[in-house]
Amino acid sequence: MVTTRRQFLQDSSVFLSVGAAAWPWMTSEAKEKSMLNKTSPVIVSTWPFGKASNDEALRILQQGGSGLDAVEKGIWVTENDLSNSSVGAGGMPNAMGVVQLDSCIMSGPGHKAGSVAAIEGIRHPISAARRVMEKTRHVMLVGAGAREFALKEGLEVAEMPTEGRRREWLQWKAEQEKSAAKNHDTIALILLAPDGHLYGGCSTSGWAYKLPGRVGDSPIIGGGLYVDDEVGAAGATGIGENVMRYCGSFQVVSFMQRGATPTEACLETVKAIARKDPKGADLSINFIAVDKKGRYGAAGSAQGFSYSVTTPKFSQVETGRAISTKELGPVGGNRP
C-alpha cells in the first residue's frame, strides 16, 4: 500500500502524541537541554580582588572560550597582580624567604582535576595545574617535580619574591615577633558556564612565612575546591588547616546535593566545622558556592567576608553570611 504525504503526517502526529505520553522523559530531556542552552554564566570568586578575575572570565566566555579557559585566564589576572600579597608572584614568601605556590583546577564534565603544590618560580600555577589534569595520569604534582613539569610545558617563569616582599621578609626575620598569620587569602573562582557545566580553580601563595613545604587547602581537591557537575561547585579561603581537616568544600557541595541553597550550604558547613573544632567559631574560614540552577552564595566564620559575583547583567562585591554564637550551641567537640 502506498502511503500518501497526508497519511504520513497524520500517522506521525499520532505517534508523537502517544510517544510523549508513553515516554515523558523524551519531552523533559528536550526541555532540559533547551534550558541549558540558555543558561547565563554565573561567576563567583573570593574577596573583592576576585571581581577583576570574574570580569576576565566572563569576557573569555562571551568570546566563545571554554569554562576551563575562563577559570584559568580569570585567575591569571589575580596571579599577575603584584600588589596582591596572597596570590602569585606578588605573594608572601615562606620562613626561608622562598615563595611556594599552590593551585588546583576542576572540570565538571568528566569529573577531572589537576593540582600543584609548593611550586616555585612559575608565574601561573593555575596553568600548571591544568596541564597536570590534561596531560598526565596524575592529579597532583609537588615541589621540584611540579616545577620541572611546568618548565617542560613551556610555562612562564617569574622572579619571586618581589623586592618589596623580600624586604618585608627580612624585617620579619629580624624581628621574629611579627604574626605568622598575617596573610592567608586565596583566589578561588567557580562558575556555571553557558553550556550548563560547572568549573572551578584555586590559587594562592599560602600562609605568610609558613614552614617550607607547608601545603594548605587550596590545591587539595575537596578542601579548597570541589566541583560536582550534577550538583554545584564550592571554593574556600582562610586558614587552610581549618578547611582541609574537614574536607570543607566537599561538605558544601554535599549540603547542596541534599537540597540546601548555596548560602545555606556554606553556612551549614561552617557551623558543622565550628561544632567539632576546639577553636569553635574562631576559625577564619569562608566558603563560596554556586549550584546547577545558577544560584550562588557565601558564608564565613566571622563578619566581613566579601566575595565577588559576575553575570552578563552585573558584576559586584557582596557580603557573605556569618555564623553567630547563638546558632552554634555547644562547640569545640563538647556536644553531649
Q: Where in the sequence numbering do the catalytic residues fall? A: 186
Alpha helices, H only, 94-188: 125-135, 143-152, 163-175
Cell 554545584 belongs to 232
Pairing of strands 112-119, 225-228: unpaired
Amino acid letter, 9: L
Question: Mind giving me the DSSP string for 212-248?
Answer: TT---STTSBTTTEEEETTTEEEEEEE-HHHHHTTTH
Which residues are CB-contacts of 251 (< 8 A; sequence separation ≥ 6)?
269, 272, 273
What SS3 state is found at 334?
coil
Largest separation between any pair of C-alpha atoms in the chain:
98
305 within 8 A of 322, measured Cβ to Cβ: yes
Exposure letters 261-271 (e unless 16+ CB within 10 A, then b): bbbbbbbbbbb
What SS3 state is found at 196?
coil
Compute and round to an integer the Cα radius of gyration of the chain.
23
Phi, psi of 257 (to 5 degrees): -60, -30
Query: Using CA atoms, how far apart are residues 82 and 38, in angstroms rounded to an integer?
Result: 37
Length of the chain (residues): 336
Query: Using CA atoms, how far apart are residues 178 and 263, in angstroms rounded to an integer?
Result: 35
Give the H or E element holding residue 69.
helix 67-79
What SS3 state is found at 179?
coil
Amino acid letter, 37: N
